[in-house]
Amino acid sequence: MPHRRLFRILVLAVSAAVLVVSVRFGFADAWLDQYAIPANAQLEEQPAAEDAAAMQSSESGADIPIAPKPVVLSNRVTEYHISVKLEDDGTLTGEQTVTWKNPGRKPVSDIYLHLYPNAFSPGSTFLKESGGQLREDKMKPGGYGSMTLTSLTTEEGETLLPRFRYVQPDDGNASDKTLATFRLPEAVKPGGETTLRMKFTVQLPQVFARMGQAGDFVMAGQWFPKIAAYETAGTRGRDAEGWDTHQYHGNSEFYSDFGIYSVKINVPEQNIVAATGAMTQQVVNKDGRKIYQFYADDVHDFGWSTSPSYTYVENSFSSAGVPGLRIKLYLDPLHKDLADRYMHAAKSALAKLGQWYGDYPYSTLSIVVPPADANGAGGMEYPTLVTAAAAKNDSPGYELERTLVHEIAHQYWYGIVASNEFEEAWLDEGFTSYTEDKLMSAIYGIGSNSTIEASYMTNPQPLKLDSWGYDSSDSYAENVYLRGKLVLQAIEKQVGEKTMSKIMRYYFQRYRFKHPSSTDFQKAVEAVTKGKWSDFFQAYVYNGQMADFAVQSIQSSPAPGGGYESMVVLRRNGGSPQPVTVLFQFADGSAVRKTWNGQQSQVQMKLTHAQPLLFAAIDPSNSVVLDNLRYNNYLKTEVQEKTRTRFNIGLSKLIDGLLGTLAW
């Protein structure tokens, strides 16, 4: 037989074997979708034609599938195949097959699952800590939610429910059912994998805290049984590998491993669905229902929303750092005429993020605008899907753009870099708030005032702190969002905007898809600046300090040889050493500026001048971003005793005269 013919037969045989094996493990659909030519390939080859039809406010545009790209960006620890149905009574019924790959070097015998909808059940840790309130949004009376795992088996069909138990490692609250564990029949060897099958039901709460139902609107966030993150040795400084196991708390958000998601969503036929990832098949209409098929890879979560009321708008977009994607906008009817504002904000933000930090690696970005009665679903991020502020009026101010660019910035820090939001939330929220300010300034010319914002810091606490470890929800927000942002601005003030841009880009590029820590960010700062930042991080990240530079005292007296001699004592009461400017103002109108290196906790400066010193002001240009006690930055010269006595007598006589006049 000719060698060429033999080679062709061997290739066909190997291809058939691969396909058979993929079917056995349930991966065939994803495998075929990944390499299939998309139904809309002709459209993608003609961008002008696509742009002409981009502003179609119809559902048809949402039904065009996109083929996923076969590029592996993350370690893909998990693979989910989920089928979920929104029932007429508002509950979700679902089943999933999930494969977990052991990324460590030790056998793993126990699996941990997050069952987040149980946070909305009476007695949960989330409700106790939050008091049923989150971001000024209150849980409606009786609007509870829950999740029930109705089936849990191995791939071979062996039931594991008898081994299933809820655990509460953070607070021991026996009523909390947001985290569970079970023992596997056989340990998963390093590099090995296990496949599990589950069935579950979810009672959706009334929309609150990122999830639930409001009328015919549904936000499904944290809606499926999710395998916890497994951290290998060295991840975020871990000495030993193991599960990262935490309950759902009042302040905390989420943390998971990267993976693949293939999800079928079954909804009433009038509904439109927005979801993480891209559609890989045409929508199927059957028996008064509609079935959507979505696929996403190299993501660590999957969220979706549905409503029959959405006004749908789609645009294609590409720029430097954004190779090409579809922006999908799901508008509440109240905002149907604001599509241009949303699209402009989204495109501008993506263009800047791609330019500043690096590529946006996904093919879609979906934006959901919730209705007014679903305010709790607004302002949240999921991989490739964000929710804007709820539509409360038809003419919103810049809060529309600010909320949207904030959530899109999350795609980089929460979505791609993927920090641990349980234990180091500032690496997401602080970085996103910093980026939000940059975007608002670059796109709309709206700046922030760090001096005023620093004054809001009334209870500084460490940034590397478990989210539920803060004194209150206000303290959590102050530190994680605001002080975290100010720490980044403080670094920028010291190194300059150009170097700070290099730091942020270096950090993103080095740690994308890697779950970095605060220590990793410090390494990035030191790598770019070629300097040590231990004191800075110790003070502001690990110890929760604020800066406090103060003028403690001034004494001025005539000098023996003429003129005046002034002694000024400066103190650094808090924060790390850094150079600061000191302004000295004299009676003749002249001024002198000196730089104090800030290394000592206290320093005394001696000045000789022809005229008395009137006052001293430390950091007059407000360059020390983290100084929140500026009332002590300024001090007038202390008046000599004789002069003070004469002044007091004169003032007393003046007061006596005024009182006498009033008595008359």
Calpha distance 245→362 (Å, rounded): 29
Angle in degrees, CA 628, 630, 631, rounded to 5: 130
Calpha distance 566→16 (Å, rounded): 90
Contact indicator for 486, 463 with CB cutoff of 8 Å: no
Calpha distance 615→604 (Å, rounded): 15
- Identify residue 234 by its one-letter amino acid code: G
Contact indicator for 278, 295 with CB cutoff of 8 Å: yes
**Largest Cα–Cα distance of the chain, in whole Å?**
131
Beta bridge partners of 231: 242
Q: Which residue bears the tokens 């599990």?
A: 196
Annotated binding site for Zn(2+): 406, 410, 429
Q: What is the CA 241 to chain-centroid distance, rounded?
A: 25
Predicted confidence at residue 55, as pLDDT, reads 40
430-543 and 548-647 have identical folds: no
- Identify residue 136 by its one-letter amino acid code: E
Annotated binding site: 406, 410, 429
Calpha distance 367→54 (Å, rounded): 15
Calpha distance 388→330 (Å, rounded): 10
Q: What is the CA 448 to chain-centroid distance, rounded?
A: 19
Predicted confidence at residue 138, as pLDDT, reads 85
Contact indicator for 44, 10 with CB cutoff of 8 Å: no
3-class secondary-structure state, position 276: coil
Predicted confidence at residue 67, as pLDDT, reads 64
Pick left, alpha or beta for residue 277 (phi over 0 → left; psi -120 to 50 → alpha; otherwise beta): left
Taking the chain (664 residues) in runs of 10, the rounded mean pLDDT of each run is 48 45 36 28 33 40 61 96 96 98 98 98 96 84 95 97 98 98 98 98 94 97 97 94 97 96 98 97 95 98 98 97 95 98 98 98 98 95 98 97 98 97 97 98 96 95 97 95 98 97 98 97 98 98 96 93 94 96 96 96 95 96 96 85 42 42 34
Q: What's the CA dihedral at 138, 144, 145, 148 to 10 degrees?
A: 150
Which residues touch 3 (CB under 8 Å, ≥6 apart)? none
Distances (CA, A) of 359 to 117, 322, 406, 570: 33, 6, 18, 47
Distances (CA, A) of 233 to 104, 418, 515, 542, 617: 8, 17, 13, 22, 50
**Architecture of the domain made up of 548-647:** Sandwich (2.60)
Contact indicator for 272, 62 with CB cutoff of 8 Å: yes
Distances (CA, A) of 283 to 262, 279, 315: 15, 9, 20
Predicted confidence at residue 63, as pLDDT, reads 55
* Domain parsing of the chain, residue ranges: 77-257, 430-543, 548-647
Nearest C-alpha neighbor of 61 from the set 363, 337, 316, 265: 316
Both structure tokens of 5: 């013919």
3-class secondary-structure state, position 244: strand
Q: What is the CA 648 to chain-centroid distance, rounded?
A: 58
Calpha distance 663→493 (Å, rounded): 59
How many alpha carbons fall within 13 Å on the CB side of residue 253?
A: 22
Q: Supply the residues annotated as catalytic.
A: 407, 481
Domain 430-543: CATH class, spelled out:
mainly alpha
Both structure tokens of 342: 């949303």
Predicted confidence at residue 49, as pLDDT, reads 36
Nearest C-alpha neighbor of 209 from the set 275, 127, 142: 127
3-class secondary-structure state, position 593: strand
Predicted confidence at residue 332, as pLDDT, reads 98
Predicted confidence at residue 68, as pLDDT, reads 57
As a three-state string, the secondary structure of 413-478 is: HHHHHCCCCCCCCHHHHHHHHHHHHHHHHHHHCCCCCHHHHHHCCCCCCCCCCCHHHCCCHHHHHH
**Architecture of the domain made up of 77-257:** Sandwich (2.60)
426-444 and 484-495 are packed helices; what angle lies between their axes, rounded to 10 degrees? Answer: 60
Q: Across 332-401, where does the E strand assignment appear?
A: 364-368, 380-382, 385-387
Beta bridge partners of 182: 111
Calpha distance 293→312 (Å, rounded): 18
